[in-house]
Amino acid sequence: MFPPERIEIVTGDITRQAVDAIVNAANESLLGGGGVDGAIHRAAGPELLAECRALNGCPTGECKMTRGYQLPAKHVIHCVGPVWHGGERGEDELLAGCYRAALSLAKAHGLKSLAFPAISTGVYAFPLERATRIARDTVRAEADESLDLVRFVCFDESTAETYRRVFATLTA
């Protein structure tokens, strides 16, 4: 089990995180979009889009990694989270797959620190508390001991409060 003292929950801008990799809540094209995805593409600069074009997209529940370009983070791990359809189309497993795939890429590339957004909880409408429990349980079970830090960067204080409440059960 990944130690809870290596997990941080903050309110802020994921594009300003000085970590080895930030995770992008991307769409299947990987070519930018709204929300976190658009903000990351704007902050990283046009080189990110050029690299993403060469990746030929990514299936839901999986991830691909690029350089960070103009971001403080060295890399971007692009995860394609599921659109919420009421929980009857494997959304929970697809979301857990995003976290597993990102953690696996981090391990494979010797990364020490990751920053995640609240994947799929914006326009993809995944219920926040449910998504937070999946993030907590997957990171706790799957994060490698070689990681020094897993940070969850919440866009607003209300989201951060949900993360703090759900993650508080880590120490219980």
Known catalytic residues? 37
From CA 15, how far away is CA 8, in angstroms rounded? Answer: 16
Buried/exposed code over 63-99 (b: 16+ C-beta within 10 A; e: otherwise): bbbbebbebebbbbbbbbbbebeeeeeebeebbbbbb
- 63-67 and 21-26 as β-strands: parallel, antiparallel, unpaired? unpaired
Secondary structure E strands in 42-170: 63-67, 75-80, 113-116, 149-154
Tell me the helices (H) and strands (E) count for the chain, helix number first: 5, 6
Give just the sign of the alpha carbon dihedral 81, 83, 88, 89: negative
Three-class DSSP category at 84: coil
Three-class DSSP category at 17: coil
Asked whether 77 and 52 are in contact (CB, 8 A), the reply is: no
